[in-house]
Amino acid sequence: MFKRLLLISYLVLLCGCKQEKKETTFIDANVSTTAIQYANGFTIETQSNGITIINILKPWANAETTHTYALVPKEILASVTLDKNEYDAIISTPVENIVVTSTTHIPALEELGVLHQLIGFPDTKYISSLAARKLIDDGKIKELGVNENINIEAVLELQPDLIFGFAINDGNSTYETIQRANIPVIYNGDWIEETPLGKAEWIKFFAPFFNKTKEADAIFNKIETAYLEAKKLAAEVENKPTVLSGAMYNDVWYLPGGKSWAANFLKDANANYLWSSTDENGSLSLSWESVLDVGQNAEFWIGPAQFATYQEMEASSLHYIQFDAFKNRTIFTTANTKGETGGTLYYELGPQRPDLVLKDLIHILHPGLLPNYEPYFFKPLL
């Protein structure tokens, strides 16, 4: 079961709406829209009176509903009138105590300087951030069980201002119970984004809750600049090495679709990903024979799921040893870069730092372009 969870996490990383809302009591023609250049899952608008409206367009894959939140500065909360029926939640800002439900939320909070406001998390053992682990050890971040079945009593005892929720569909009864207790659940759909910079731009989603919009813009701009500079460097190389990815689970080979997050990394690293022409934005499910037919001679194997060593792979299936990348020892994995409690750092930090992921891939695929670079996530299979 643990291996299955790891594989599902790997695939998630690789890889029609609610009835129209009416106008709020305040009709403000002077609305400023936060520039969202890459992310497709949310919008942010701020009125001249300081009220910020956040629309979550894609809270999960194939979502049929949107979610709208009104963020009202505390100093004007008593003087404004908003119809609660028009919003999924009305939040007084800046918030002080929060719960998040995905390790991908942790780096954004840390970068914004608000990690100390995190008071609860489901399954804290998977958190790798050193700063967050210190807070856990000090008893400041409480264990809340498992994301799919959060300990409701523990949440009610903490009384957070809100929960940033992660969900794969709208059937989370635990969230519904928590919301009935007047604790808002704010859906975060960063994992749905298909592009590296699209995922990273979700730091702008967190920012208005803490009055940190300027800080978020500066952080993202730095990441964007580093990413685009690395992409430009890779584009100058004529050779595009062939790349295989993924691994088998129950005789089915899962690997990134051609429009997925991982495939976009390989594209920007100027590699020839052998399944780049497929239209899937998630994962492909293929037979090992079909993968062998296409990828047997691939020069590199990037991301062999949860595997950390060649011995593990061979013991799992003798099919793997037929690939040139296995024979030539050109397989690279994120499984050997872990936090102090065993969490894979790539799953937590990779979405927030696509510039580091891209540089890792360029260093591997185009030796010599970044001669002094030390890979951060992707390391050689042992």
- Which CATH number do you get for residue 47? 3.40.50.1980
Q: Which residues does 70 contact at the CB level (< 8 Å), separation at least 6? A: 24, 51, 52, 53, 82, 86, 87, 89, 90, 91
- How do residues 128-161 score in pLDDT, each as one tens digit? 999 999 999 999 999 999 877 899 999 999 999 9
218 and 245 together in one domain: no
**Entry pTM:** 0.90
- How do residues 120-135 score in pLDDT, each as one tens digit? 999 999 999 999 999 9
121 and 65 together in one domain: yes
Is a pLDDT exceeding 70 seen at residue 18?
Answer: no
Q: Is residue 12 included in any domain, yes or no?
A: no
In terms of Cα–Cα distance, which of 194, 300, 151 is closest to 239? 300
Q: Which of 22-31, 115-124, 213-222, 270-279 has the lowest mean pLDDT?
A: 22-31
In the chain, the number of structural domains is 2
Is a pLDDT exceeding 70 seen at residue 258?
Answer: yes
Q: Is residue 198 included in any domain, yes or no?
A: yes
Q: Is 174 or 18 the better-scoring residue by pLDDT?
A: 174
Q: Is residue 11 included in any domain, yes or no?
A: no
Domain, as residue range, for 179: 2-6+19-224
In terms of Cα–Cα distance, which of 357, 303, 307, 300 is closest to 329? 300
Is a pLDDT exceeding 90 seen at residue 306?
Answer: yes
Q: Is residue 102 included in any domain, yes or no?
A: yes
Q: Is residue 231 included in any domain, yes or no?
A: no
In terms of Cα–Cα distance, which of 55, 109, 49 is closest to 75? 49
Query: What pLDDT, on the 0 to 100 scale, is given for residue 8?
Result: 42
- DSSP calls for 191-223: GG--SHHHHHTTHHHHGGGGT-HHHHHHHHHHH
Is a pLDDT exceeding 80 seen at residue 10?
Answer: no
166 and 42 together in one domain: yes
Q: Is residue 229 included in any domain, yes or no?
A: no
Q: Which of 20-34, 137-151, 186-200 has the lowest mean pLDDT?
A: 20-34
Query: What pLDDT, on the 0 to 100 scale, is given for residue 114?
Result: 98
Q: Is residue 83 included in any domain, yes or no?
A: yes
Range 60-86 average pLDDT:
92
∠ CA(199), CA(223), CA(256), 5° rounding?
Answer: 40
- CA–CA separation, 309 vs 303, rounded Å? 12
Q: Which helix (H) or strand (E) holds 188?
A: none
23 and 119 together in one domain: yes
- CA–CA separation, 43 vs 49, rounded Å? 18
Owner of token pair 């790539």: 346
Query: What pLDDT, on the 0 to 100 scale, is given for residue 62?
Result: 87
Last residue of a domain, one of 224, 250, 268: 224
313 and 202 together in one domain: no
26 and 134 together in one domain: yes
Give 6's pLDDT tier (boundaries 50, 70, 90). Answer: very low
In terms of Cα–Cα distance, which of 140, 141, 189, 139 is closest to 164? 189
Owner of token pair 């009610």: 156
Q: Is residue 230 included in any domain, yes or no?
A: no
Range 73-78 average pLDDT:
94
In terms of Cα–Cα distance, which of 146, 156, 153 is closest to 126? 146
Is a pLDDT exceeding 90 seen at residue 3?
Answer: no
Last residue of a domain, one of 175, 193, 224: 224
- CA–CA separation, 286 vs 308, rounded Å? 22
129 and 214 together in one domain: yes
In terms of Cα–Cα distance, which of 231, 257, 259, 230 is closest to 245? 257
The DSSP 8-state label assigned to residue 105 in this structure reads G
Is a pLDDT exceeding 50 seen at residue 9?
Answer: no
Range 295-299 average pLDDT:
98
Give 33's pLDDT tier (boundaries 50, 70, 90). Answer: confident
CB atoms within 10 A of CB 73: 15
Last residue of a domain, one of 198, 224, 250: 224
Range 264-289 average pLDDT:
97
Query: Please, what is the average pLDDT of the chain?
Result: 91
154 and 280 together in one domain: no
CB burial class (10 A; 0-12, 13-18, 19+) of residue 370?
middle
198 and 61 together in one domain: yes
Two structure tokens written together for 340: 């102090």
250 and 184 together in one domain: no
Give 30's pLDDT tier (boundaries 50, 70, 90). Answer: low
Asked whether 94 and 116 are in contact (CB, 8 A), the reply is no
Owner of token pair 């808002």: 184
Q: Is 8 or 230 the better-scoring residue by pLDDT?
A: 230
141 and 248 together in one domain: no
Give 28's pLDDT tier (boundaries 50, 70, 90). Answer: low
CB burial class (10 A; 0-12, 13-18, 19+) of residue 4?
exposed
74 and 123 together in one domain: yes
Torsion of CA 279, 284, 286, 289, to 10 degrees: 70
